[in-house]
Amino acid sequence: MLDLRFVRTNPDVVRQALINKGVSVDLDRILALDVERRQILTEVEQLKARRNQVSKQIGVLKQQGQDTSAIIAEMGEIGDRIKELDDRGRQVEEELQDLLYQLPNIPAPDVPVGEDESGNVEVKRWGEPRRFDFPVKPHWDLGVAMDGLDFERAAKVTGSRFAFIKGGVARLHRALVSFFIDYLTERGYREVLPPVIINTASYYGSGQFPKFREDVFSLAGTDYHLSSTAEVPLVNMHRDEILDEALLPLKYVGYSGCFRSEAGAAGRDTRGLIRQHYFEKVEMVQFTRPEESEAALMEIVGNAEGMLEKLNLPYRRLFMCTGDMGFGQYKKYDIEVWMPSYERYVEISSCSNMSDFQARRANIRYRPGGGKPEFVHTLNGSGLAVGRTLAAVLENYQNEDGSVTVPEVLRPYTRCDRIVG
């Protein structure tokens, strides 16, 4: 959420951010409501002051034996007007807050301006894609052939975009999770197993609601929703708290199931593990001082890239443009892994600096130098999406006989060097 004072004093900056991010919000209505809200507050304060003054006058007049009917009538009119203004004030405040929740974060000054993914800037590429001397199979064919992936039975049990993961492929999936968590805990992140049922306030706090509500599975008749990412519970773990400055930065690694309706992804990546309604992900979240968030973002990016390098999976890093960076992001890098069957790079991690956008919505603060509370900065990054990494390993490490070589870094977890089924 943006500071209303910032919106009031920098309307042109906010208007340009709306254009650059491709978001439509009635900024003029926000500014008009803000004016009306302040006018109401001022008039109510004046009326209450007048009411206090009149109340004292009534006492004096009664002591003097004078007629107080006129002044008592004025008191009634003042009370009625205050009630009228209070009712209107609540309506204005509700509409204003609703519109403020729809305002995106302001992008950092160095973020490239662009309308869509064509405006993203490649800033790094690592590793050489493997050259195969046999026809490359997509991961869904590999997995099905070794009875490690079963989409058909999953569709029978649940529906499309679900999978049974079995046997050696399931072991490989588990190995990836353990490797990711070990890698990050060794670098100062505290492991957290978060709840996967989240209330509405938490989704507002992290910025997914109201804009992305249709992408979330909700539990009918309740205030609960299934978690779309561990970012949501990890950020809201400190909602309405003042953090001890001495503990900053706080670093968490959360592993959880993620549930997404993929409402806006019809027809995209319909086969395989790339775009499922349910998948598992390891997530990095940090709470930092504002002046340290830029360095923290690059640390998160480095962690995601470091794990891919340990797996020897070729990747590239993109600096995301304004039109493709996301609603709440101040700055964002996407990391894409090479997928041989696609003959292109596919997103495997998004790393974002949210500045104080989430902290302001979730009311997460600290006291710099023990002084007045200020909002922290929050950051997050996939470390990594497990299903997509599994797909990348299957494709990049496939053998002509249909088996899959286990990356060396995963062998202590799988206790084997090859997956055959």
What local confidence, expressed as pLDDT, does residue 266 receive? Answer: 57
What residues have CB less than 8 Å from 391, skipping those under 6 apart? 139, 272, 273, 274, 339
Mean pLDDT of 219-248: 97
Give yes or no: residues 149 and 255 share one domain. yes
Alpha helices in 212-371 (DSSP H): 231-236, 293-310, 357-362
Give yes or no: residues 160 and 280 share one domain. yes
Catalytic residue from among 260, 317, 361, 365: 260
What residues have CB less than 8 Å from 212, skipping those under 6 apart? 228, 327
Q: Sheet with 364-366: list strands edge to edge.
A: 241-243, 364-366, 374-375
What local confidence, expressed as pLDDT, does residue 75 receive? Answer: 82
CA angle 185/186/192 to nearest 5° reads 5
Residue 107 lies inside a defined structural domain of this protein = no
Known catalytic residue: 418? no
Known catalytic residue: 94? no
Give yes or no: residues 77 and 145 share one domain. no
Give yes or no: residues 171 and 230 share one domain. yes
CB 31, CB 96: distance < 8 Å: no
E-assigned strand segments in 146-288: 149-150, 164-165, 190-192, 197-199, 224-226, 241-243, 250-259, 278-288
Give yes or no: residues 298 and 201 share one domain. yes
What local confidence, expressed as pLDDT, does residue 265 receive? Answer: 56
pLDDT > 90: percent of the chain: 89
User: Using one digit for the tens of pLDDT, what is the confidence trace for 112-148?
Assistant: 999 999 999 999 999 999 999 999 999 999 999 999 9
Known catalytic residue: 241? no
Give yes or no: residues 372 and 240 share one domain. yes
**How, if at all, do strands 190-192 and 377-385 pair?**
unpaired
Give yes or no: residues 68 and 121 share one domain. no
Residue 65 lies inside a defined structural domain of this protein = yes
Residue 110 lies inside a defined structural domain of this protein = no
65 pLDDT tier (thresholds 50, 70, 90) = confident
pLDDT at 264 over 70: no
Mean pLDDT of 243-271: 86
Six-digit token string for 49? 């002051």
406 pLDDT tier (thresholds 50, 70, 90) = very high
CB 338, CB 325: distance < 8 Å: no
What local confidence, expressed as pLDDT, does residue 262 receive? Answer: 78
In this structure, the dihedral spanned by the alpha carbons of residues 262, 214, 284 and 165, taken in order and rounded to 10 degrees, is -40
> Tell me, what CATH number does 123's domain have?
3.30.930.10
Number of domains in the chain: 2
pLDDT at 344 over 90: yes
φ, ψ at 360 (rounded to 5°): -70, -40
pTM of the model: 0.92
CB 146, CB 403: distance < 8 Å: yes
Q: How many residues does the chain have?
A: 421
pLDDT at 56 over 90: no
Final residue of a domain: which of 100, 134, 153? 100
Known catalytic residue: 260? yes
What local confidence, expressed as pLDDT, does residue 71 receive? Answer: 79
Final residue of a domain: which of 48, 74, 100? 100
User: Using one digit for the tens of pLDDT, what is the confidence trace for 409-420?
Assistant: 999 999 999 999
Give yes or no: residues 122 and 241 share one domain. yes
Residue 54 lies inside a defined structural domain of this protein = yes
Residue 81 lies inside a defined structural domain of this protein = yes
312 pLDDT tier (thresholds 50, 70, 90) = very high
Give yes or no: residues 151 and 256 share one domain. yes
Mean pLDDT of 10-36: 97
CB 384, CB 348: distance < 8 Å: yes
Residue 139 lies inside a defined structural domain of this protein = yes
Give yes or no: residues 36 and 157 share one domain. no
Residue 262 lies inside a defined structural domain of this protein = yes
In which region does residue 305 sit, left (phi positive, over 0), alpha (psi from -120 to 50) or beta (all else)?
A: alpha
Known catalytic residue: 202? no
E-assigned strand segments in 160-240: 164-165, 190-192, 197-199, 224-226
Give yes or no: residues 88 and 216 share one domain. no
Final residue of a domain: which of 47, 65, 100? 100
Six-digit token string for 355? 């500045």
E-assigned strand segments in 267-353: 278-288, 315-319, 331-339, 344-353
Catalytic residue from among 241, 245, 347, 374: 347
Residue 111 lies inside a defined structural domain of this protein = no
Catalytic residue from among 81, 275, 289, 411: 275
Please give the residue range of the domain that contains residue 377.
117-419
Give yes or no: residues 173 and 320 share one domain. yes
> Tell me, what CATH number does 36's domain have?
1.10.287.40
